[in-house]
Structure 1
Amino acid sequence: MPTPRPRSTYRLQIRPSFTLDDAAALQQYLTDLGADWVYFSPILTASEGSDHGYDVVDPTTVDPARGGRGALERASRVFHDAGLGILVDIVPNHVGVARAEENAWWWDVLTHGPASRHAAAFDIDWAFGGGRVRLPVLGEDVGAAASSGALRVEGGELHYYDHRYPLAPGSAAVGDDVLDVHDRQHYELMDWRREADDLNYRRFFGVSSLAAVRVEDRAVFDETHGEVGSWFAEGLVDGLRVDHPDGLRAPVDYLERLQELTGGAYVVVEKILEHGEALPQFFAADGTTGYETLADIDRVLVDPSGEPGLDTLDERLRKASDLPAAFPWAEVIAGTKRAIGEGILRSEVRRLARDLGAPDDPATQDALVELLARFPVYRSYLPAGRGHLDEAAAAARAHRPDLAGAIDAVLPALADPQHPAALRFQQTSGMVMAKGVEDTAFYRATRLGTLTEVGADPSVFALPVDRFHAAQAARHAAWPHSMTTLSTHDTKRGEDVRARLAVLAEIPARWTQVLEELTDAATTGHGPFDALLWQAIVGAWPASRERLHAYAEKAAREAAEATSWLAPDVRFERRVHAVVDGAFDDPDVARRLESFVSEIEGAGWSNSLSAKLLQLTGPGVPDVYQGSELWEQSLVDPDNRRTVDFDERRRLLSLIEAGDQPVVDRTGAAKLLVTARALRLRRDRPELFTRYTAMTVVGAAADHAIAVDRGGAVAVATRLPVGLAARGEGTGSPWGDTMLLRHAGPTTDVLTGRVYSGHVLLAELLDLYPVALLVAGELP
């Protein structure tokens, strides 16, 4: 019997305030909505109070704070009895160590050092630490901490303020000096400012409270995946989402072990593909989590004619702020990635140099940083992907001819699939890419916020309809069960924020005028950041003051141009917050903001509904991120993990099912209609989604339509709604004579219940909603 694959998923954030039992209580709503599987965020035991769950402290148990194993079993029964499958997010790359006492394995390593039975689980360079793990937790020198009493021996442990650490057996006696006791431990507490240079354990990106786990070791894999394996042995769970596989030493081997463990269950990987990159066909997985689809859908709804105008605005703002140009993008990100390699991830570069046998050679470290900065994708999978390394080396030599000798010297080892440096380089390149691009450069590329999303290339402004169809058809052929998405817990902006901001590409001159008016009244003094911040406010409006303050501060620090996490500029950040306050407190600013949002929100809603329909009916397995069946106007995390009002969604869905035909307005009920009808059709009539064929649209406004036959279900969506509306000024319907060509016979739009025959005029089909979903015949 073949292993089941989902037709759609619905992602739920499981946390102490929303447990597995709370999730089970949503079964009827999710069934009514049309979801095929429910998709849980990480549920293994996480650090106390963790809202996201990616800081697992015990991979052998289901988190009691999230309901525990009993709640998983109850939820499994509820969903399975209703015919829904269950997908669970797992985190194999790292565990949480922020509070040492919470993680029994880490505590044991700190207690016993290399002799700990769990020492092999962590990627620690003991020699570099002089036989000790270096913990960057102090806000001062260790001597100063001891002198002030902040560092002390108490209750048979070493304490630093409220942090607790174990003592090695026999390492302390009554009356011992605290510094002497500290020096006898298998760990060294050090000033956190040293972590960039002197850390000696691998971590998740630059987060020292997340220690990497060596799942390439079979014993470690077995111990960390015992609980996960039991879910499949007992039929509790049907599939897995694998977090950050690129951080693993041997992701290909890992996925093969996971396939064996789960019996070939459905598995998708959080693999970020760069523009033009394909998922390796040798992965033992069903596909990715869908960021590449998100990028395509966003761009097919962006007007390419707006690029020159937005470029002109961006260039003017940068020149006025004495900043370099935002393009060519390859050079921008090479600079931000180099800053990461020389900054917060320098300890990783130093470890690579040690693996190469050149621990103190500046040229070797410089060459490594340049190669990492020029690496074109997140990582390679040697022996495949050697071309990426050669491409990086060629670019590095061209940019730094003075390093050509050092680059040539390290290249043979980095190309050897068995060399420790090659294995570590593959792990490190993704870290540098993520921190340098997603978490830095994306906050500097501010011409159009729609374009700066995870897995996207901001230099690719728009996607023609024919290329969109080609990409979708290729996806259907190669990875038919790959997940697709529009919003996740990692997206920089919610799907409907991006959809609204896409409108700016249709009106670059108008946006330039509005931005000038807004910044005349409220500015940070940094033109490109003003553009980023005002786009966030416009895109998320109406949003609370608190949400926008949190976003503004995070965005400013991530951009690291005028302020940063390590060195906050109080004066600049005061101006940043003043801009947010201006949107609420200055009547003139508030009036201009509300007026502009009202001007573009209808077009934004059109883009939103089109994006949703294209995703939900397109190739792959569409995921609905929790709550996004109504307008999803979240900003970057933690904003996108806010509590969802499911009672309101139940209420609106019941009205729709009672025959209410919602209008396209701020309630978002029209989006709920599109989501429910598309999901149900996909779940109940899978035979209608077996191919991908672009449909023919003819007429004067044909460029404003995207139409596709999925094997019986025909999706029709609107693009560039501002330009479309302009066509109809004073002439009636903007669609004019534009027509969808289809075979003879009746067809029904499942969104409205209307029946059409033969060719269909879009003026009739899309007069109520900017989208339609057609099936042959008349519905019962």
Structure 2
Amino acid sequence: MKTPVSTYRLQIRPGFTLQEAAGLTEYLHRLGVDWVYLSPILTAEEGSDHGYDVTDPSSVDPSRGGEEGLAALSKAAHEQGLGVLADIVPNHMGVATPGQNAWWWSLLKEGRSSKYAEAFDVDWDFGGGKIRVPVLGSDDDLDQLTVADGELHYYDHRFPLADGTYSEGDDPREVHARQHYELVGWRRADAELNYRRFFAVNTLAGVRVEVPWVFDESHQEIVRWFREGLVDGLRIDHPDGLADPEGYLARLREATGGAYLLVEKILEPGEKLPETFQCEGTTGYDALADVDRLFVDPAAEPFLDDLDARLRAEPEPADYQAMIHGTKRRIADGILRSEVLRLSRLVAETPALPRLGVADALAEIICWFPIYRTYLPYSHEVLEEAVHHAARHRPELKGVLDALLPLLTDTSGELARRFQQTSGMVMAKGVEDTAFFRYTRLGTLTEVGADPTEFAISTEVFHERMARRQAELPLSMTTLSTHDTKRSEDARARISVISESVPEWELFLGTVQERVTIPDGPLAALVWQAIAGAWPADRSRLQSYALKAAREAGNSTNWTDPDLDFERHVAAAVDSVFDDPEVEAALDNFVAELEPYGTSNSLSAKLIQLTMPGVPDVYQGTEFRDGSLTDPDNRRPVDFDARIAALAELDSGAKPEYTEEEAKLLVVSRALRLRRDHPELFGGYRPVQATGEAAGHVVAFDRGPEGHGVLTVATRLPKRLASDGGWRETAIEIPVDSRDELTGTAYPAGPLKLGTLLEQYPVALLVPVD
């Protein structure tokens, strides 16, 4: 198996095609990258910037460069010695525009007799033999239907007509009634939809890749990539939505000739991938959480809890477990009610098992899940524990819960399979996309894949986790930023300094709230942390983020029934950054307080991520400082010309001192080159202990297989370090004569004072000198 040493993620889209990516391969090689990592490239909904709404799995998207673009990218990458990792989307297809998706068009036109009726996951009986399509403003909008060119039209939406269902002059409503689909009001999707989706996105319809022919047809183009040597590995999007992830991975491994595979899987603390999964690991959110928590000051937790309680006007801070039970229940009873009701219809209704009681009990079990899903028979104890908690919380449901447990553990039954597919949906929407916008004591903690109740970790805990990662998942990806992170690595690095600056944070938040109040204290904390983390940023970016954050939180406004008056308050707060001199001055002063320490955190976190066990990924553009917020902000175009020029100047050695962006580029390029060009210096993991008063402020480890390899040294909690008097006599022991790859300075074996080693940068990258 060909495996990567590192990857660099590129967002391929109509505005940045595969041909343009091919032109970057020389730069990526010079940067030190080993593989180029592509976002989805199969044909997607026209105008899609992300590509996760595939409409034609048999072709590379022409707007992204097409087959010729992939060939050009692959050729250029391989000539530079780079492998190619491609992102694929087996769980769902884009169906927003039926005319663009031949599979969906056939399903709508032919109904159950369509070949693709087996490909999509439709409960036909519940829909009375029809598939419900929630596109109408309301059910009354059927009056807006027209028939033209042999198709049914609703404004700009086009739908096929079954053969023999239309004659000239027929009433459009009557024509609609003869079809294999039923157009319904969009609000009915919450409880009455009868096809599986990706989460609650009506325009992404679930695909049954567990059916052999569906797998074959949906993967024929992907298999060609491997047959022709165009692609070397795959990232699998959302495997938790699949009916049989284990079987899918085995089939994919065989189809690709044993290629390197990663799954986009969120592992909760303590959770492990099933050993039978044929993949090399995850896309790295678990690693991100471990790195972030090194830079959060544990001493701040009670103070930030106290502030959180005051912002909520409650005697106690938010109870996270109670919060996520509530948010998950809100999702299960709201936008994903259709999925829960579909589960309930699989249980034979009796007086002891009434339909609505079963739905209530199933939702309650899901809301007690501590992980995204089980992979029965793995993690069966999680399911049993969730049923136990549900019964204790809702004793009136105990009889129903007891009856459901054996059905939910029966892996031969449809209920058990569908339940596993559903629990992750509720977790993602209830936690990532709701609670993470409500639990706001420190924005660093609410990142995808993290448990925000784990406030900080010690270096000892970090070293234990890294040793386990080296032993169990050495080829799993590590990351700090992705197209899905709520805040970029550099925004989080700066926000983490708030844990060392609680009085300054309280003063700043009080000042801006007094000038222009966001009448939702926890949301105000979230928004102002994000603004401080992203600053400088333009008005439109911050407005978009604040509006999305407010609606995702769902406390004071929401997506479906927005409170426009509240949203005006939020918009006014953002505007004040640009229009109110006092707010602008307060923000500038607060950011200036955080910035030097945020920069230290940024460089330290990056060096740790690039040299720790695993395969490090660099998200596009983050070799410079990047203050992006949640999507689509983190998918903006990247100025690669600036990075190419900066790397050339850096390599020339013409400048004695570097800007913040150049310093990060230095760290990224030197660490990536070292990993690629000197693999013999990696392969093990040994913590390196410091001695002295400031020993708790250093993270150091040796990656040599026998303890004499690359030695990473990074600074943690830099503001407290500075206020306590700096490094003083704190030192580490270096086992052999070494050179710092970042400064070029040589050091003899023996004790080395950190004040000397880290005089220029908060990090050092030591390599043995022959």
Scaled to the shorter chain, the TM-score interval is over 0.9
1:145 corresponds to 2:137: no
Give the Cα–Cα distance (whole angstroms) in 2 for the partners of residues 323 and 113 of structure 1: 57
Equivalent-residue separation in structure 1 for 2:231 and 2:359 (angstroms): 45
Which amino acid in structure 2 is aligned with residue 725 of structure 1? A
Give the one of 576, 580, 586 matched to 2:580. 586
Cα distance in 2 for partners of 1:486, 1:665 equals: 21
Q: Which residue does 2:762 correspond to in 1?
A: 770
Q: Deviations over 1:605-647 (max 9, x none)?
A: 0000000000000100000000000112100000000000001
Partner of 1:725: 722
Distance in 2 of aligned mates of 1:766 and 1:386: 49
Structure 1 contact 605–664 (Cα < 8 Å) conserved: no
- Counterpart of 1:145 in structure 2: which amino acid? D
Which runs of at least 4 in structure 1 moved beyond 6 Å after TM superposition? none
> Is the counterpart of residue 656 in structure 1 residue 647 in structure 2?
no
Show the counterpart of 1:741. Answer: 733
Instruction: Please give the alpha-carbon distance, in whole angstroms, between the structure 2 residues aligned to 1:610 and 1:556.
Output: 32
Per-residue displacement from partner, 1:434-455 (whole Å, max 9, x unpaired)?
Answer: 0000000000000000000011
Q: What is the CA deviation profile of residues 431-484 of structure 1, one whole-angstrom value per residue up to 9, with x for unaligned ones?
A: 000000000000000000000001101110001100000001100100100000
Percent identical pairs in the alignment equals 58
What is the 5 A alignment of 1:503-652?
Answer: 503-652=497-646
Instruction: Check whether the contact 1:378–1:433 (CA below 8 A) recurs between aligned residues.
Output: yes
**In 1, Cα distance between equivalents of 2:657 and 2:360:** 59
Unaligned runs of 5+ in 2: none
- Give secondary structure in 1 for the equivalent of 2:734: coil
Task: State the AA in 2 paired with 1:715.
Answer: T
The correspondence of residues 165-180 of structure 1 with structure 2, limited to 5 A, is 165-180=159-174
Hey, what's the Cα distance between the residues in 1 that align with 2:563 and 2:195? Answer: 30
Answer yes or no: is 1:232 the counterpart of 2:232. Answer: no
One of 80, 93, 96 as aligned partner of 2:94: 96
State the secondary structure of the residue aligned to 1:225.
Answer: helix
- Secondary structure of the residue aligned to 2:262 is strand
Contact 2:738–2:768 under 8 Å retained in 1: yes
Write the distance in 2 (CA, Å) between the matches of 1:202 and 1:496.
37
TM-fit CA distance, 1:48: 0.2
In the alignment, is the contact (CA less than 8 A) between 2:98 and 2:159 conserved in 1? yes
- Mapping of 1:176-191 within 5 angstroms? 176-191=170-185
CA distance in 1, matches of 2:657, 2:47: 40
Instruction: Tell me what 1:693 maps to.
Output: 686
Are residues 582 and 8 of structure 1, via their aligned partners in 2, closer, same or farther at CA, if it must alter by over 3 Å?
A: same
Deviation, 1:323, is: 9.9
Q: Structure 1 residue 661: deviation in Å?
A: 5.1
Q: Which amino acid aligns with 2:682?
A: F
Instruction: Please state how far the C-alpha of 1:324 moved relative to its aligned partner.
Output: 7.9
- Equivalent residue for 1:112, pick from 110, 113, 129: 110
Q: Tell me the SS of whatever aligns to 1:195.
A: helix
How does 1:745-764 map onto structure 2 within 5 Å? 745-758=736-749, 759-764=751-756
Is 1:678 the counterpart of 2:675 in the alignment? no
What is the identity, as a one-letter code, of the residue corresponding to 2:82?
L
Deviation at 1:325, TM superposition (A): 4.1
Shift of 1:16: 0.5
Question: CA–CA distance in 2 between the matches of 1:169 and 1:570?
Answer: 46
Does the 8 Å CA contact 1:662/1:670 hold for their aligned counterparts?
A: no
- Alignment coverage as a number of residue pairs: 762
2:332 maps to amino acid: G
Asked if structure 2 preserves the Cα contact closer than 8 Å seen for 1:692 and 1:708, the reply is: yes
CA distance in 2, matches of 1:366, 1:146: 33
Q: What CA distance in whole angstroms lies between the structure 2 residues aligned with 1:513 and 1:458?
A: 24
Question: What is the match of residue 437 of structure 2?
Answer: 443
Distance across 1 between alignment mates of 2:540 and 2:529: 17
Contact 1:616 1:678 in 2 (8 A): yes
Note the residue ranges of structure 1 that are not aligned, 5 or more in a row: 729-733
> 1:146, CA displacement in angstroms?
3.6
Q: Distance in 2 between matches of 1:492 and 1:184?
A: 45
What's the counterpart of residue 79 of structure 2? 81
Q: Which residue in the other structure is 1:731 paired with?
A: none
Partner SS, residue 43 of structure 2:
strand
Residues 217-244 of structure 1: CA deviation (Å, up to 9, x unaligned): 0110000001000111111100000000
- Asked if the contact 2:306–2:316 (Cα under 8 Å) also holds between the matched residues in 1, the reply is no
SS where residue 118 of structure 1 aligns?
A: helix
Aligned 8 A contact 2:343 2:418 in 1: yes
2:259 corresponds to which of 257, 265, 279? 265
In structure 1, what residue type is equivalent to 2:723? A
* Structure 1 match to 2:5: 7
Q: State the distance in 2 between where 1:608 and 1:183 align.
A: 59
- 2:127 counterpart residue number: 129
Letter in 2 for 1:633: G
**Structure 1 contact 376–391 (Cα < 8 Å) conserved:** no
What aligned pairs does 1:433-472 form with structure 2 within 5 A after superposition? 433-472=427-466
Q: Once structures 1 and 2 are overlaid, which stretch shifts more, 673-682 or 171-180?
A: 171-180
User: Aligned partners of 1:454 and 1:541: how far apart in 2?
Assistant: 22
1:524 deviation in Å?
A: 1.2
In structure 1, C-alpha distance between the alignment counterparts of 2:259 and 2:656, rounded to whole Å: 39
Distance 1:675 1:146 in 2: 57
Contact 2:345–2:355 (CA under 8 A) maintained in structure 1 = no
Shift of 1:356: 1.7
Q: Is contact 1:146-1:152 (8 Å) kept?
A: no
Instruction: Determine if the alignment matches structure 1 residue 346 to structure 2 residue 343.
Output: no
Partner of 2:42: 44
Secondary structure of the 1:640 match is helix
Alignment of 1:380-419 (within 5 A): 380-419=374-413
The alignment partner of 1:45 has SS state of: strand
SS at match of 1:741: strand
**8 A contact 1:309–1:509 mirrored in 2:** no
Amino acid at match of 2:737: P
In structure 2, what is the Cα distance between the partners aligned to 1:87 and 1:136? 36
Alignment of 1:334 with 2:325, yes or no, is yes
Question: Structure 1 residue 64: deviation in Å?
Answer: 0.5
CA shift digits 1:667-689 (9 cap, x unpaired): x1100000000000000001111
Counterpart CA distance in 2 for 1:132 and 1:356 is 22
Which secondary structure state, in structure 2, belongs to the residue aligned with residue 653 of structure 1?
helix
CA distance, structure 1, for counterparts of residue 666 and residue 147 of structure 2: 62
Residue 662 of structure 1, CA deviation: 6.6
Kept in 2: contact 1:134–1:189 (CA 8 A): yes
Q: 1:660 to 1:307 in 2, by over 3 A?
A: farther
**In the alignment, structure 1 residue 305 sits paired with structure 2 residue 299:** yes
Amino acid at match of 2:719: V
TM-score, normalised with respect to structure 1: 0.97
Q: Secondary structure at the match of 2:454?
A: coil
Paired residue secondary structure (1:165): strand
Measure, in 2, the Cα distance between the counterparts of 1:93 and 1:323: 44
DSSP-derived class of the 1:512 partner? helix
Provide the C-alpha distance between the structure 1 equivalents of 2:507 and 2:656, rounded to a whole number of angstroms.
Answer: 34
Matched residue SS, 1:773? strand
2:322 aligned partner, one-letter code: E
Q: Distance in 2 between matches of 1:161 and 1:324?
A: 51
Deviation at 1:145, TM superposition (A): 2.1
Counterpart-to-counterpart distance in 1, 2:142 and 2:401: 45
Report how far residue 746 of structure 1 moved: 2.0
Please give the alpha-carbon distance, in whole angstroms, between the structure 1 residues aligned to 2:440 and 2:637.
29
Q: What is the alpha-carbon root mean square deviation over aligned residues?
A: 1.1
* 1:369 and 2:377 aligned: no
